[in-house]
Amino acid sequence: MPRKTANDDPLAPLTLAVGQEDLLLDRAVQQVVAAARAADADTDVRDLTSDQLQPGTLAELTSPSLFAERKVVVVRDTQDLSADSVKDVKAYLGSPVEEITLVLLHAGGAKGKGLLDAARKAGAREVACPKMTKPADRLAFVRSEFRALGRSATPEASQTLVDAIGSDLRELASAVTQLAADVEGNIDEAVVGRYYTGRAEASSFTVADRAVEGRTAEALEALRWSLSTGVAPVLLTSALAQGVRAIGKLSSARGGRPADLARELGMPPWKIDRVRQQMRGWSPDGVATALRAVAAADAGVKGGGDDPEYALEKAVVAVATAARSRQGR
């Protein structure tokens, strides 16, 4: 969910939504509009792109009305505003108009930083909408979506959903909403699997799980299915690397309860149990061999080789073989 500042009144004169996650930016706008229309059903909403905010446009939109109507003015991609339009916005920040809520969307970063600083100095209510690039962030997002709907989902169910859907937050939010509407009671891994079987089977983490379990044929089948459904090769090498590293981390950790190991290794407790089951056939040499194979495949899929699919197949076979190194098979 978007992170907010202490000033969390959506009807504050100025809201600044910062980041590049489109879903979160849209939600920041929707929250302000909903609050404004709850206060006044006739609220006028003007939603502008940066090129639509020409010099003089903001003054026209915020000029006093005979009817003193409530208005929400949204300006998107403010980092791309012209210098003259930035001057207009800064001038408005110095004397905001009552009954008008201005919402500025900014990508963050150095471009247009002067306006960003001016809005913060003016006491803007700020909503952070960062791009969710890490799997852990998307997992936290899914959990928060279930909580927001008043529903309970197991950690495994949330992880399976992220594995199946991928990085698109809109699709993840839609999937959570569908599951919450369709499923009664607790939502577990089996339920998610039934809804998203094809996509879950095509996920990069399924390939990695089968490989680190030493199930060569199933891993190769999952790999070919993943590639045929458009999973990026770089995601597959990343998942393989994560799977092998988890084996290495847990095998070198001192024994203990899953909760204690989870804190030590930075893994959720349920994953500790899963990796413990997967690591039974592994030896230290096997982990080292598998990591070298995955690194070679990663170089291959990033331009170091002519055939990314062949590089991935070699890596999957190497990982699955290493998974049986302790048994000497």
- Token pair of 110 as six digits: 């150095």
Q: 316 and 215 share a domain? A: yes
Q: 313 and 235 share a domain? A: yes
What mean pLDDT, rounded, does the chain reach?
A: 86
Q: 276 and 170 share a domain? A: no
Residue 79, number of CB atoms within 10 A of its CB: 20
Q: Is residue 59 part of a domain?
A: yes
pLDDT at 254: 61
Q: Is residue 228 part of a domain?
A: yes
pLDDT at 1: 46
Amino acid identity for residue 111 in this structure = K
If phi > 0 it is left, if psi is from -120 to 50 it is alpha, else beta; for residue 234 that is: alpha
Average pLDDT over residues 15-35: 94
Taking alpha carbons only, the member of 18, 30, 1, 50 closest to residue 125 is 18
Q: 81 and 168 share a domain? A: no
Looking at the DSSP bridge assignments, the partners of residue 127 are: 4, 17
pLDDT band at 100 (very low <50, low <70, confident <90, very high): very high
pLDDT reading at 56 higher than 70: yes
List the CATH number of the domain containing 90. Answer: 3.40.50.300
Q: Is residue 192 part of a domain?
A: yes
pLDDT at 52: 93
Average pLDDT over residues 288-312: 87
Residue of higher predicted confidence among 260 and 233: 233
Q: 245 is in which domain, residue-wise?
A: 204-323
Instruction: Using the 3D structure, point to which of 105, 129, 153 is the last residue of a domain.
Output: 129
Strand order in the sheet with 71-75: 3-4, 125-129, 14-19, 100-106, 71-75, 44-48
pLDDT reading at 51 higher than 60: yes
What Rg do the C-alpha atoms of the chain give, in angstroms?
Answer: 25
Q: How many domains does the chain have?
A: 3
pLDDT reading at 4 higher than 80: no
CB 204 within 8 A of CB 239: yes
- Token pair of 325 as six digits: 């190194």
Residue of higher predicted confidence among 4 and 230: 230
Tens digits of residue pLDDT in 205-253: 889 989 999 999 999 998 988 888 777 788 889 889 989 998 888 887 7
Q: 116 and 164 share a domain? A: no
- Token pair of 209 as six digits: 């799980």
List the CATH number of the domain containing 317. Answer: 1.20.272.10
Backbone φ and ψ for 45, nearest 5 degrees, come out as -115, 125
Instruction: Using the 3D structure, point to which of 85, 105, 129 is the last residue of a domain.
Output: 129
List the CATH number of the domain containing 164. Answer: 1.10.8
Amino acid identity for residue 38 in this structure = A
pLDDT reading at 6 higher than 60: no
Q: 223 and 278 share a domain? A: yes
Q: Is 150 exposed, middle or buried (CB count within 10 Å of its CB: 0-12, 13-18, 19+)?
A: exposed
Q: 209 and 148 share a domain? A: no
The string of DSSP codes covering 139-188 is: HHHHHHHHHHTT--B-HHHHHHHHHHH-S-HHHHHHHHHHHHHH--S-B-
Average pLDDT over residues 286-291: 93
How many angstroms separate the Cα of 87 from the Cα of each of 33, 84, 112, 301? 25, 5, 12, 47
Average pLDDT over residues 25-47: 92
Tens digits of residue pLDDT in 106-133: 999 899 999 999 999 999 999 999 988 8
Q: Is residue 260 part of a domain?
A: yes
The string of DSSP codes covering 238-305 is: HHHHHHHHHHHHHHHSPP--HHHHHHHHT--HHHHHHHHHHGGG--HHHHHHHHHHHHHHHHIIIIIS
Q: Is residue 183 part of a domain?
A: yes
pLDDT at 3: 47
pLDDT reading at 194 higher than 50: yes
Q: Is residue 1 part of a domain?
A: no
pLDDT reading at 329 higher than 60: no
Q: 91 and 117 share a domain? A: yes
Pairing of strands 14-19, 100-106: parallel
Q: 262 and 286 share a domain? A: yes
pLDDT at 193: 81
Q: 77 and 187 share a domain? A: no
- Token pair of 177 as six digits: 């909403």
Q: What is the 3-state secondary structure (H, E, C) of 193-234?
A: HHHCHHHHHCCHHHHHHHHHCCCHHHHHHHHHHHHHCCCCHH
Interatomic CA distance for residues 78 and 81, integer angstroms: 5
Instruction: Using the 3D structure, point to which of 107, 129, 151 is the last residue of a domain.
Output: 129
Average pLDDT over residues 15-19: 97
Q: 84 and 156 share a domain? A: no
pLDDT at 89: 96
